[in-house]
Structure 1
């Protein structure tokens, strides 16, 4: 597992399919596709000490969505 938390965005099974509620040209679909095209082999090695980290693809999606939606960052000073 390389010290990372498992990441599978298709693992949640609910009584409804969230994909049906997201429009075809929504920014979330673009953000979903971008990290799949990047080579993140540089981040494959992780030390075994400490708490397991989040998957780099998942974190990149969060940062991209935050940036594109201009959401406030907790570390940004006003």
Structure 2
């Protein structure tokens, strides 16, 4: 005799729409908020000289700096791993404001601002 299993319907092929509000899921005293506040308080005028006025609109330097610094805080130095975190981890998603820079972009930014970061 077989018993029918009653479960909620499941299909990962269905298109899902949901609103993600990481602000509600990240504690007020979480280190990611410290990184956000510190970078927001920085004067990044020196970064502007590193960008051209023409071409494709780049990601905001504050956002890029936030995800890199937070990754370093978590001992993540590989650009590919940082890219993966930006796609999966709610803290990185929050810092990046749901933008998804790829590993090449992260690496180029990191190399471009290395001197400014050290200063």
The two structures share one fold, judged by TM-score above 0.5: yes
Change (3 A) 1:39 1:16: same
- The TM-score, its normalising length taken from structure 1, stands at 0.62
Larger Rg: 2
Question: Per residue, is there more helix in 1 or in 2?
Answer: 2
Q: Which has the higher contact order (CA 8 A, sep 6+)?
A: 1
Runs of 4+ more than 4 Å apart: none
Deviation per residue, 1:25-56 (Å, 9 max, x gap): 21111111011111111223432233322211
RMSD over aligned Cα atoms? 2.3
What is residue 37 of structure 2 aligned with on the other side?
A: 33
> Hey, what's the Cα distance between the residues in 2 that align with 1:16 and 1:49?
33
Mark the runs of 5 or more structure 1 residues left unpaired by the alignment.
Answer: 1-13
The total of aligned residue pairs comes to: 62
